Amino acid sequence: MEMTPMIDVTFLLLIFFMCTLKFRVLEGKLTAFLPKDQGVLHMASIPLEKVQVDIHVVDPGQARNAQGTGPYVDPSGQSRRTYVGRILSYTIGTQRMSSLADLQARLAQIHAARPGENVPVVLQPFADTLLGDVVPVLDAALAAGFTQIAWGGAVDDTQR
């Protein structure tokens, strides 16, 4: 049995179906003009109170090598380092604290004063604050019982 005529017919049918194919418009597309400034329900929004923890560097301290035994010397800036004598201060509202224990105690008081509420906490680092300075504050907020914790962007001290 010769296959050439069958292949020819198959290709002719394929070309015929491709030429007669009509492209359809997307079926599920609906054009709706909804108002952007108001919803269906007209309810007053309740402002969500947040706790903002400002982290300030009082004294940057001295950079040391990762072991803390000698001065930090690395022209590329890629190796690990620690800081000796680094002093930080933390501010919640108008209250300023100088230790992590005081900060954790204050955060625990705020959390206990609002039982059942899911109050967000914003950690706001200021100039020269390192990641290693913010992580203990995050741990203190978690230990105090907060679950919604956000990181603010770095802010210059001149912006406040």
State the Cα–Cα distance between residues 112 and 154, nearest whole angstrom.
29
Distance between CA atoms of residues 150 and 125, nearest Å: 11
Cβ contact 18:47 at 8 Å: no
In total, the chain counts a number of residues equal to 160
Indicate whether 30 pLDDT > 90: no
Lookup: tokens for 72: 């930090």
Domain boundaries, the chain: 51-159
Query: How far is the C-alpha of 110 from the C-alpha of 102, rounded, in Å?
Result: 12
Q: Are 48 and 121 in contact (CB under 8 A)?
A: no
How far are the Cα atoms of 4, 15, 52, 108 from residue 9, in angstroms, in the given order? 9, 10, 75, 81
Note the pLDDT tens digit of each residue in 90-101.
999 889 999 999
pLDDT tens across 49-93, in order? 888 999 998 888 887 777 667 776 766 666 777 788 888 999 998
